[in-house]
Amino acid sequence: MSITQEKIEELTSIARKVRRHIIEMTAEAGSGHPGGSLSCCDILTALYFDVLNVDPKRPTWSERDRFVLSKGHAAPALYAVLAEKGYFAKEELMRLRKTGAMLQGHPDMKGTPGLDMTTGSLGQGLSAANGMALAGKLDKKDYRVYVLLGDGETEEGQVWEAAMASAHYKLDNLTAFVDHNGLQIDGPITQVMSPEKIQDKFKAFGWHVIDIDGHNFREILDAVEEAKNTKGRPTAIVAKTVKGKGVPFMENVVDWHGKAPTKEQAEEALKAL
């Protein structure tokens, strides 16, 4: 299935809005994680605006596709995408992380429409996604389950407990993205505690693995299609990304993992976007 130039332009324009939200939200909140939000926002945009069979008016619709943001600290990206999709008012975005607000620092499914799982403690999302995929198989439903992990996150042992189980139970209704931006909090992943080669590890655990450029919509969507057509095993899409993507002074800079831009920095970032 080939994707039209129009679709790509539409996704590009939505992703641009999402990036602007991420900057504005974190600047307003005075904290948050812009780096890892910017690196995964093209993937999230592609999922919510082309892939997922969801209905913002019925966020708990039982037949919907599921998405689990295992790297929960990228909540600003997910919130921005959900708001653009119409799950809740965009005004909520500017209340991120404020006392009494709906949008918690990390995703809280109880209070936020559109969230399929509560995350924030790294390493736990794939397990939950497995549960959703198993439930789908048990009920003979054809919804699909998507999950996004950080590359540093794959250092967590639970990720591999879960990866083993996804393959064991032949969860071909499950697709995991790895946001392969090469950085975690204390530095490059290969220096802190190398999980490389991530592709080989997933392969060794029995997964089908696809390598893509995580900022190229055509590659993202083609990979999703390939995952759908892969039977008998789960698919891992390892997406090469740039942490801080789109904001020149944030790109590939470790420090922008968990620091909000000041008002001036936000203005500069918005100009670039």
Partner 1 sequence: MPKIATREAYGQALAELGEEIKDIVVLDADLSKSTKTSVFAKKYPERFFNMGIAEQNLMGTAAGFATCGKIPFASTFAVFAAGRAFEQIRNSICYPNLNVKIAATHAGITVGEDGATHQSVEDIALMRSIPHMIVINPADAEEAKQAVRAAAMHKGPVYLRFGRHPVETIFDNNYKFEIGKGVILKEGKDVAIIATGTMVGEALKAAELLSKKGIEAMVVNISTIKPIDKEIIIKAAECGAIVTAEEHNIIGGLGSAVAEVLAEARPTPMKRIGIADEFGQSGKPEELLKLYHLTADDIAKAAEELKKG
Binding region for partner 1 (CB under 8 A): 62, 66, 68, 108-110, 116-118, 120-121, 123-136, 138-139, 157-158, 161-162, 164-165, 168-169
Give yes or no for residue 219 binding Mg ion (CB under 5 A). no
Within 8 A by CB and 6+ apart from 72, the residues are 106, 107, 118, 119, 120, 121, 122, 125
Instruction: Please list, residue by residue across 177-192, b when 16 or more beta carbons sit within 10 angstroms of its beta carbon and e when fewer do.
Output: bbbbbbbbeeeebeee
Task: Compare residues 33 and 208 and give the one whose CB is closer to ligand TPP.
Answer: 33
Q: Which of 184, 198, 202, 256 binds ligand TPP (CB under 6 A)?
A: 184
Task: Compare residues 65 and 151 and give the one whose CB is closer to Mg ion.
Answer: 151
Q: How far is the CB of 164 from partner 1 (least distance, A)?
A: 7
Q: Which residue is nearest to ligand TPP (CB)?
A: 150
Q: What is the radius of gyration, based on Cα positions, of the chain?
A: 17
Give yes or no for residue 84 binding ligand TPP (CB under 6 A). no
In three-state form (DSSP H/G/I as H, E/B as E, the rest C), the secondary structure along 190-237 is HHHHCCCCHHHHHHHCCCEEEEEECCCHHHHHHHHHHHHCCCCCCEEE
Q: Which of 118, 119, 175, 181 binds Mg ion (CB under 5 A)?
A: 181
DSSP letter at 253 equals: -
Give yes or no for residue 179 binding ligand TPP (CB under 6 A). yes
Give contact residues for ligand TPP (rule: CB under 6 A): 35-36, 39, 71, 73, 120-123, 150-153, 179, 181, 183-185, 243, 257
